Chains A and B, each alone.
Chain A
Amino acid sequence: QVQLVQSGAEVKKPGASVKVSCKASGYTFANYVIHWVRRAPGQRPEWMGWISAGNGNTKYSQKFQGRVTLTRDTSATTAYMELSSLISEDTAVYYCARMGVAADYWGQGTPVTVSS
């Protein structure tokens, strides 16, 4: 069965960077795009960007352009999201999602807390 398993919770200081992983299994990793979405406490989800697992092409939301980097390791069937220059407003749960008919399978979420 399709599964996306994300790395564990992170606590970071303002100005630091965080890198979240998303390990895919149960399907052909290279055939799909992976999107990243975050949801801050009590807020609506926000789309951050996507990466093609096959060729590595990326597209970023203008809001996060310059601060977010999406990569993937096809041999490890894992996608990564790195967010830099963290501020308190980046405190959120970060999700990866596979793009099938829609965003059909999601990771369990990785809480990231930014606090001094």
Chain B
Amino acid sequence: EIVLTQFPGTLSLSPGDRATLSCRANGTVSGTYVAWYQLKPGQGPRLLIYGASRRATGVPDKFSGSGSGTDFALTISRLEPEDFALYFCHQYGSPPWTFGQGTEVEFK
């Protein structure tokens, strides 16, 4: 099973800042099948990035994904108030699906 480790656990930032979230796998993720999700209380996860670097439909270009193999990243270029949330990475290339433990982006 692929184990995903996200870091940092918490990012304390201000609106306008750039956020870089990391996700490391303990084995090569097949086909760069890595996705990133945003999760807010009371809502289902929102797909931001799939295939490591492809933006999902309707996702603004302030969100970008990168990486391959075992190391992946999500960057939010300029934080806006609605971006303060919990973010998960997810690999869907090697069964079973697995998820990272999350990075909380909080107000500094």
| Chain A residues within 8 Å of B, Cβ to Cβ | 4, 35, 37, 43-47, 59, 61-62, 95, 97, 101-109
Contact = CB atoms under 8 A, between A and B. Distances in A.
A interface: dominant SS: strand
Interface stretch (B12-20, B67-75, B93-101): B93-101
A106 B44 contact: yes
Q: Which 4 A-B pairs have the closest CB atoms?
A: A106-B44, A102-B50, A47-B97, A45-B99
B interface: dominant SS: loop
Interface of B: 4, 33, 35, 42-47, 50-51, 54, 56-57, 88, 90, 92, 95-102
A44 B45 contact: no
Given A47-B97, A101-B50, 11 more contacts: A37-B99, A44-B100, A44-B101, A97-B45, A101-B54, A102-B51, A102-B90, A103-B47, A104-B57, A108-B42, A108-B43
Given A101-B50, A102-B50, A4 B44 contact: yes
A102 B99 contact: no
B7 to A, nearest CB: 13
Nearest to B43: A108
Nearest to A4: B44
Contact of A95 (B44, B92, B95): B44
A96 to B, nearest CB: 9
Contacts of A61: 96
Contacts of B56: 101-102, 104
A46 B96 CA distance: 9
Contacts of A4: 44
